[in-house]
Chains A and B, each alone.
Chain A
């Protein structure tokens, strides 16, 4: 974990607030859907529930430009390495929302072919329960994610040497 310094300098907290304000208000989800939850994700992006109000309606097809990975549907063992690679291709400040029981814990499928939960392969920020969670549930989950982002401190990570390049 990132060790928080004793007393965060005043200037950086304001900078943190500004960066996290920008990051949480422009979460571009990756346009990837796996199963039934993907249809509910599209319904949330459509006109009636309108994710666009929070600036999230830009579904970026390429992982390079996406910073939110909504895992919407069942993660099967055959799909798991691909989900992992998609997550790795996304640039750094990225978040993952596990949408639906299948992504959270395997859901109604305790079978040989299903990975019991997407957090076995990628770190998840927000879990949304429901078998095809309603668009309101997804929006609630996304707003919770926005609150979580607002509490982060990107400047502490930014000025540290990037450890990933060493391993």
Chain B
């Protein structure tokens, strides 16, 4: 896929060369490149991006509940990882999908700032991250039942 952003184009080509068929989908809109990979090979892709491509900072992990606009064949939740390359200000977004009960690989090993972000996603969506040092609720009390940011959860709570 050709994009009119030379630096990101180089990254995309390296990625495509390395994981050619496992990049399920790449999108480049509004100047932002986002790559979708399956849950299984999330860690190798991120390790590759961090070590070879120099994306050394994890900016944010965003959880999405696509219950209102379900895409056939794709699980309900998707998790977006927003990355940074420090000196030359490159941004990249890696997207994976997960159903309710499928645990995602935790990336606290690669990035230390992932610790609380993953706990927040567990707190809000109920997605489990295997390999996370202490996966407990970060905002709500432990006695809170339900996961608030799911679409079926009412705004004012049960």
Is B17 in contact with chain A by the CB < 8 A criterion?
A: no
B contact residues, total (Cβ < 8 Å): 10
A35 to chain B, nearest CB (A): 15
Q: Would you mind naming 18 contact pairs between A and B with Cβ atoms under 8 Å apart?
A: A77-B141, A78-B139, A78-B140, A78-B141, A110-B155, A110-B156, A111-B155, A111-B157, A112-B153, A112-B154, A112-B155, A112-B156, A112-B157, A112-B158, A113-B139, A113-B140, A113-B148, A113-B157
Contact A112 B141 (CB under 8 A): no
Within 8 A of B (CB), among A68-111: 77-78, 110-111
A110 to B157, CA, bound (A): 9
Give A111 to B141 CA distance when docked, in angstroms: 15
Number of A-B residue pairs with CB-CB distance less than 8 Å in the complex they form: 20
Nearest-Cβ distance from residue A76 to partner chain B, whole angstroms: 9
Report A-chain residues with C-beta under 8 Å of the C-beta of B153.
112
Q: Which residues of A contact B (CB under 8 A)?
A: 77-78, 110-113
Shortest distance between the CB of B141 and any CB in chain A (Å): 5
A77 to B155, CA, bound (A): 15
A77 to B137, CA, bound (A): 15
Q: How far is the CA of A78 from the CA of B156 in the complex (A)?
A: 15
Shortest CB-to-CB span from B95 to chain A, Å, is 27
User: Main SS of the interface on chain A?
Assistant: loop
- Which B residues are closer than 8 A to A by beta carbons? 139-141, 148, 153-158
- Give the Cβ gap from A57 to chain B, nearest Cβ, in Å: 34
- Provide the residues of chain B in CB contact with A112, threshold 8 Å: 148, 153-158
Excluding A78-B139, A111-B155, 13 further A-B contacts by CB distance (< 8 Å) are A78-B140, A78-B141, A110-B155, A110-B156, A111-B157, A112-B148, A112-B155, A112-B156, A112-B157, A112-B158, A113-B139, A113-B148, A113-B157
In the bound assembly, the distance between CA atoms of A113 and B139 in angstroms comes to 9
For B141, what are the chain A residues with a Cβ–Cβ distance below 8 Å?
Answer: 77-78
**Bound CA span A110–B155, Å:** 8
Give, as a whole number of angstroms, the nearest-CB distance from B124 to chain A: 11
Shortest distance in angstroms between A23's beta carbon and chain B's nearest beta carbon? 37
Interface centre among B153, B154, B156, B158 (most CB of A within 10 A): B156
Cα A118 to Cα B141 with chains together (Å)? 19
Which A residues lie within 8 Å of B155 (CB)?
110-112
Q: How far is the CA of A112 from the CA of B156 in the complex (A)?
A: 4
Contacts of B148 in A (CB 8 A): 112-113
In the assembled complex, the Cα of A113 lies from the Cα of B148 at a distance in Å of 9
Which 4 pairs, one residue from A and one from B, show the smallest C-beta to C-beta distance? A112-B157, A78-B141, A112-B148, A110-B156
Residues of A with C-beta under 8 A to B140: 78, 113
Chain B residues whose C-beta falls within 8 Å of the C-beta of A113 in the assembled complex: 139-140, 148, 157
Chain A's closest residue to B158 (CB) is A112
CB distance from B145 to the nearest CB of A (A): 11
Q: Inside 8 A of A110's CB, which chain B residues have their CB? A: 155-156
